[in-house]
Copies of this chain bind each other. A is one copy, B any other.
Amino acid sequence: MPEISEQEYNQQRLQQVNEALGSGMFVYVRKLLQHMPAYDLALILESSTAKSRPVLWQLIDPDFHGEVLEELNEEVRKGILKSMRPEKLAAVAEGMDIDDLAEVFRTLPDSIYNEVLNSMDSQDRSRVETALSYEEDTAGGMMNTDTITLRPDVTVDVVLRYLRLKGDLPDATDSFYVVDRNNKFIGAVSLAAIVTAKAEAIVSSLINAEVEAVQAELGEQDVAQLFERHDWFSAPVVDDAGHLLGRITIDDVIDIIRENAEHSMMSMAGLDDEADTFAPVIKSTKQRSLWLGVNLITALMAVAVTSMFEGVFQQLAILAVLNSLVPSMGGVAGNQTLTLVIRGMALGHVGDSNARALLSKEVAIGFLNGIIWATLIATVVAIWKQDLMLGGVIAFAMLMNMTAAGLAGVSIPLLLKRLNIDPALAGSVIITTVTDVVGIFAFLGTATLLLT
């Protein structure tokens, strides 16, 4: 059993690097960074302040620059690419996987894009152009082109001799793809099938019927779901006419899965999922102020509703004191339902076919929880303020608002999805507005009618 966890170990090493950097011991930092895997170097860059990143980058062995760029978060990568000279970039690009290369090119500023492309040799240039011809978030944008293809009519013995001659397989090769003479995809044969089959077996007899080709235009979410459904480790990518273009491996799919899961959480707080933890202050301030502005409008709507009851406060100041209670509980309940629905949508659990069942379930939960908290809060208020009627008013408002929260928590994300608006981004603000407005109206409105 290790004495410290990986995370603690990372943090210790990071501290070491930062302290050395702070005291200007550049040679020592270079030495510390020398034998780290690209993943660790990326982690150190992402965990450092925006100011120290260019210095660290200079101290990383340029032979690793390509690999590190592949591992970096998009925002951090952009910052580093901006600081690199075009000819350096072209040199780095040569060693990169085609899918990562395309990603890097997509984040390049237009001004240096062509400069980098021109300083590459024609073979690399054509690799980049192929990769860029597919949308980033499709199978074509995720694939690599380093496949090994076999003809259907050769024997296992011939395949094994060919592989020995080759002497090396691309990373993460678990299957070979069988194609005809026009490069049309016929099927996949696993490496495991090759090594367990008889020497005289014919390749076409070993094709795994469970592996289908993925269309290059298929969206990345759908690709991820296919991998999970079939427990694939890799999959072939084909064009419209069925020609083999490349393959996707599971490590690229992992990134999609993580990004999806993170996306919901970050969006619900109005943050970009690629947000850089250590971005410069001005940049972060700008990015966040938009979301704060949207929320200010929500808050002002609550203020506008409250101001309709301004006169009541002079008579009954206790209403002003209690006014935040009902909206606050409704907001929490509504956001619970929203979070559940957003996760359900991401997992493919929630859609039109079961929307009604979900709606009645969540409204029922809202109503039941409303009864629980309405009873409790009414008792507290009735005893505290010796006012049974006030307790009754707040209980009624609570019950109304909790039920409304369940209703809004399901229907708003479903509605937003139908309008092609991201429910994770817009849902929370809208639900908070609904529970604020319903809560304030229910509480102050009923109080005005019954208590004044």
Contact = CB atoms under 8 A, between A and B. Distances in A.
A361 B196 contact: no
Given A1-B240, A222-B6, A369 B289 contact: yes
A226 B229 CA distance: 25
A309 B320 CA distance: 10
Contact of A357 (B49, B197, B240, B333): B49
A30 interface: no
A403 to B, nearest CB: 13
A341 B275 CA distance: 11
B269 A339 contact: yes
A14 B265 contact: no
A77 to B, nearest CB: 15
Interface stretch (A58-66, A102-110, A120-128, A249-257): A249-257
A364 interface: yes
Interface string A352-376: 1110011001001100110011001
Interface stretch (A111-119, A163-171, A177-185): A163-171
A172 B325 contact: no
A7 B357 contact: no
A365 B49 contact: no
Contact of A299 (B194, B313, B324, B338): B324
Contacts of A357: 49, 278
B318 A171 contact: no
Contacts of A174: 174, 191, 233
B231 A277 contact: no
Contacts of A192: 169, 173, 191
A349 B296 CA distance: 31
Please state the number of chain copies in the assembly: 2
Contacts of A48: 354
Contact of A353 (B18, B310, B339): B18
Chain A binding surface SS class: helix
A196 B222 contact: no
A314 interface: yes
Nearest to A293: B373
Contact of A333 (B292, B307, B338, B364): B292
B310 A318 contact: yes
Interface in A200-230: 215, 217-219, 221-222, 225-226, 228-230
Contact of A295 (B215, B317, B328): B328
Interface string A379-413: 00000000000000000000000000000000000
Given A219-B5, A343-B262, A368-B285, A277 B47 contact: no
Interface of A: 1-2, 5-8, 10-12, 14-15, 18, 37, 39-40, 43, 46-49, 160, 163-164, 166-169, 171-174, 191-192, 194-199, 215, 217-219, 221-222, 225-226, 228-231, 233, 240, 250-251, 253-254, 257-258, 261-262, 264-266, 268-271, 275, 277-278, 281-282, 284-285, 288-289, 291-293, 295-296, 298-300, 302-303, 306-307, 310-311, 313-314, 317-318, 320-325, 327-329, 332-333, 335-336, 338-341, 343-344, 347-354, 357-358, 361, 364-365, 368-369, 372-373, 376-377
